[in-house]
Structure 1
Amino acid sequence: MDLGPHWAFIVWAYGLAAAVIATLVAWVVLDHKAQLKTLAELEAQGLRRRSRRNTNRDGQTP
C-alpha cells in the first residue's frame, strides 16, 4: 500500500487519534471504578440511592 508523499502525516494522525481514544477509554474505566467505590462507601454508611426507595405507582413515597 502506497501512502504517497504524506505517509508520515497519515501515520501520525492515525497514531494520535488512537492514543486519544485509548486515553478516553482508560479515563472512563478508571472513573467508573472510582464511582463504584464511592457508591459502596456511601451505602456502607447507610445511605441509599433514591431509585431504590419504596414508591407507590404514582411515584410518591409512602
Structure 2
Amino acid sequence: MMPDLGKYADAVLSSYAVSILLIVALVAFSVMRARKVRAQLDEVERRSRKHG
C-alpha cells in the first residue's frame, strides 16, 4: 500500500532507493572489513602461541 506522493513521487522514491543502496553498501563494507580484521587477529594469535 503506497501513499500518493503526487508530483514528488520520483524524487522521494529515488531518495529512498539511494538511501537503501548506501546502507547496504555500508553494511557490506563493514562485514568485509570485520572478516579481514578477524583474519589478521587470528594470525597474530596463531603466531603468539607458536612463539609463546
Instruction: Give per-residue Cα distances to partners, 1:8-60, cap 9 Å, x unaligned.
Output: 1011000000000110011111111111100001111117xxxxxxxxxxxxx
2:21 to 19, 22, 30: 19
- Counterpart of 1:32 in structure 2 is 34
Superposed structure 1 runs of 4+ greater than 4 Å apart: none
TM-score (normalised: structure 1) = 0.70
Unaligned residue ranges in structure 2 (runs of 5+): none
Q: How many residues align?
A: 47
CA-based RMSD: 1.2
Greater helix fraction, Structure 1 or Structure 2: 2
Unaligned residue ranges in structure 1 (runs of 5+): 48-62
TM-score (normalised: structure 2) = 0.82
State the structure with bigger RCO (CA 8 A, min sep 6), 1 or 2: 2
Identical-residue share of aligned pairs (%)? 26
